[in-house]
């Protein structure tokens, strides 16, 4: 790092090599911090919210303006069953309300998985919710591809979302979209979000452990970032059920922040200049010859 670069990261009045940094030497760096926060939600809703609040405060203290939490953050039991249906909440329920209050308190945007009420009493909806400071709920996303694979049968209890227009929101001109867990195996989901303007895709997950599953997780998250020249912030639950291994990948497919198996927070910097640089070098989106359409 050069002395000039170091000054750009300091505040007026700081001392660099024995000299006080003048006011006009300080520049605001473009972009913002994005955090992936991983933990293992359980059947105690209050405990889940307490963990979310603690991790969100840690992320904000480390410079994050956006914090991404796992799928099923509001409530989770394994295997899926009637308890999730009984504990499903509306979008204006206590979980989203508490999340919105926390967002305003920390002046940070939050994304988390919600077990939401379905259209009937037999199933629930697997949703993601995004809340912004002072605004509350700004976007939601319903899981499109249910995990009926590797021995799982999510469709027994979960209502698949309708294919609606993607909901996005923005932070400092960077557009954020969302998708969930198993959806990452379907590249058209990410591409459709990018077609809607997404520069960063948040991927809350409950990526179940198994042979080669962590390899699949890292490879698929990286591929979605690389092929779309976007940032991907993927937050998984921690073991023993999921793999952990949450990560943030940049538009060139480089992992710029990651976690192992423990409950923790990792923060990376989202820089709009990086998006522009990569898309000049690799104009894949401009050169494409196919479009994505629902089947």
Annotation says 19 is catalytic: no
User: Catalytic one among 71, 89, 159, 206?
Assistant: 71
- Radius of gyration of the CA atoms of the chain, in A: 19
How many CB atoms are closer than 10 A to CB 53? 16
Tokens of 102: 């926390």
Beta strands in the chain (DSSP E): 15-16, 19-20, 32-38, 64-68, 109-117, 124-132, 136-142, 169-171, 174-178, 200-205, 231-236, 247-249, 255-258, 264-270
* Burial category of 15 from C-beta neighbours within 10 Å (exposed 0-12, middle 13-18, buried 19 and up): exposed
Annotation says 159 is catalytic: no
Annotation says 181 is catalytic: yes
Tokens of 46: 């209050």
CA distance 283 to 193: 17
User: Catalytic one among 89, 143, 159, 206?
Assistant: 143
CA distance 256 to 235: 14
Contact, 201 vs 176, CB < 8 A?
Answer: yes
CA distance 158 to 162: 12
Please tell me whether the peptide bond between 287 and the residue prior to it is cis, using omega within 30 degrees of 0.
no
Q: Show Cβ contacts of residue 196 under 8 Å, excluding neighbours closer than 6 positions.
A: 165, 166, 168, 175, 177
How many CB atoms are closer than 10 A to CB 173? 9
User: Catalytic one among 154, 159, 181, 206?
Assistant: 181
The label of the residue with tokens 């198993």 reads 182
Instruction: Give catalytic residue positions.
Output: 71, 143, 181
């Amino acid at each position: 790092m050069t002395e000039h670069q170091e000054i750009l990261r300091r505040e007026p009045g700081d001392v660099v090599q024995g000299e006080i940094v003048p006011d006009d030497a300080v520049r605001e760096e473009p972009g913002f911090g994005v955090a992936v926060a991983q933990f293992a939600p359980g059947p105690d809703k209050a405990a889940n919210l307490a963990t979310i609040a603690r991790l969100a405060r840690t992320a904000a203290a480390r410079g994050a303006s956006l914090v991404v939490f796992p799928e099923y953050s509001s409530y989770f039991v394994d295997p899926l069953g009637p308890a999730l249906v009984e504990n499903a909440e509306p979008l204006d329920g206590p979980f989203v309300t508490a999340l919105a209050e926390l967002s305003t308190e920390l002046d940070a945007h939050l994304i988390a998985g919600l077990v939401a009420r379905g259209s009937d009493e037999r199933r629930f909806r697997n949703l993601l919710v995004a809340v912004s400071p002072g605004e509350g709920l700004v976007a939601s996303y319903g899981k499109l591809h249910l995990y009926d694979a590797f021995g799982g049968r999510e469709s027994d209890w979960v209502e698949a979302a309708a294919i609606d227009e993607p909901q996005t929101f923005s932070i400092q001109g960077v557009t954020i979209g969302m998708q969930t867990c198993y959806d990452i195996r379907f590249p058209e989901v990410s591409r459709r979000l990018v077609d809607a303007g997404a520069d960063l895709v948040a991927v809350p997950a409950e990526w179940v452990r198994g042979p080669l599953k962590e390899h699949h997780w890292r490879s698929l998250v990286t591929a979605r970032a690389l092929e779309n020249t976007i940032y991907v912030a993927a937050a998984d639950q921690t073991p023993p059920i999921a793999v952990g291994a949450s990560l943030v990948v940049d538009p060139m497919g480089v992992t710029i922040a990651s976690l192992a198996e423990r409950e923790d927070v990792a923060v990376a910097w989202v820089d709009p200049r990086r998006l522009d640089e990569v898309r000049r070098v690799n104009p894949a989106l401009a050169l494409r010859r196919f479009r994505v359409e629902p089947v």
